[in-house]
């Protein structure tokens, strides 16, 4: 699978470990930075990685900040992106199975390297649940990108 990985100044050590692991599993991985610990803004790296997914340069993206929350929120602001924020193997797996989250956000300050690797592997190895329940929900998530739906008093 072709992947991109990006993160802020909290990410370099974990990002390097994940890149090494994922390449060892046969994935093509492009590291979009950052590589240093000088403060940078995670929305910039979320946008860079998500655009690579939307443009077809990668099938999926892994994002890393301190908790995974900020970079995940930023990713979810980009139309067409579904980013799951995962802190366990189960949440990583379910991000793909139930939500087809093509982007996964994790936290370098809340997950050790071994756990983060297991979370990302679970997400990549998960099989999508093709049932109508999840398909309908994904369609409703996509509909929320329509400004009329996001402010409606009833679901679109």
What backbone torsions phi and psi does residue 30 show, to the nearest 5 degrees? -105, 125
Place 152 in a pLDDT band, splitting at 50, 70 and 90: low
The whole-number pLDDT of residue 148 equals 78
At 15-42, the pLDDT tens digits run: 999 999 999 999 999 999 999 999 999 9
Whether residue 65 lies in the annotated active site: yes
At 40-50, the pLDDT tens digits run: 999 999 999 99
Whether residue 149 lies in the annotated active site: no
Active-site entry in 9, 50, 65, 87: 65
**Greater pLDDT, 156 or 6:** 6
Instruction: Write 132-137 long-range contacts (CB < 8 A, 24+).
Output: 134/97, 134/98, 134/99, 134/100, 137/98, 137/99
Active-site entry in 98, 134, 149, 156: 98
- Domain map (residue ranges) of the chain: 2-129
Of 3.40.640.10, 1.20.950.20, 3.40.1400.10, 2.120.10.70, which CATH number belongs to 2-129? 3.40.1400.10
Alpha-helical runs (H) found in the chain? 12-24, 42-54, 69-76, 89-97, 113-125, 132-143, 147-150
């Amino acid at each position: 699978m072709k992947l991109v990985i990006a993160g802020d100044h909290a990410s370099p050590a974990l990002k390097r470990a994940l890149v090494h692991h994922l390449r060892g599993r046969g994935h093509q991985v492009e590291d979009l930075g950052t590589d240093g610990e000088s403060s940078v803004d995670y929305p910039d790296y979320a946008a860079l990685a998500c655009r690579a997914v939307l443009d077809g340069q990668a099938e999926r993206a892994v994002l890393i900040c301190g908790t995974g929350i900020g970079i995940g929120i930023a990713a979810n602001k980009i139309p067409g992106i579904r980013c799951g924020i995962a802190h366990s193997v189960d949440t990583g797996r379910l991000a793909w199975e139930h939500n087809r989250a093509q982007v996964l956000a994790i936290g370098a300050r809340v997950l050790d390297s071994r756990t983060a690797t297991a979370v990302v592997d679970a997400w990549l190895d998960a099989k999508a649940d093709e049932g109508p329940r999840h398909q309908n929900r994904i369609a409703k998530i996509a509909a929320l990108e329509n400004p009329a739906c996001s402010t409606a008093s009833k679901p679109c």
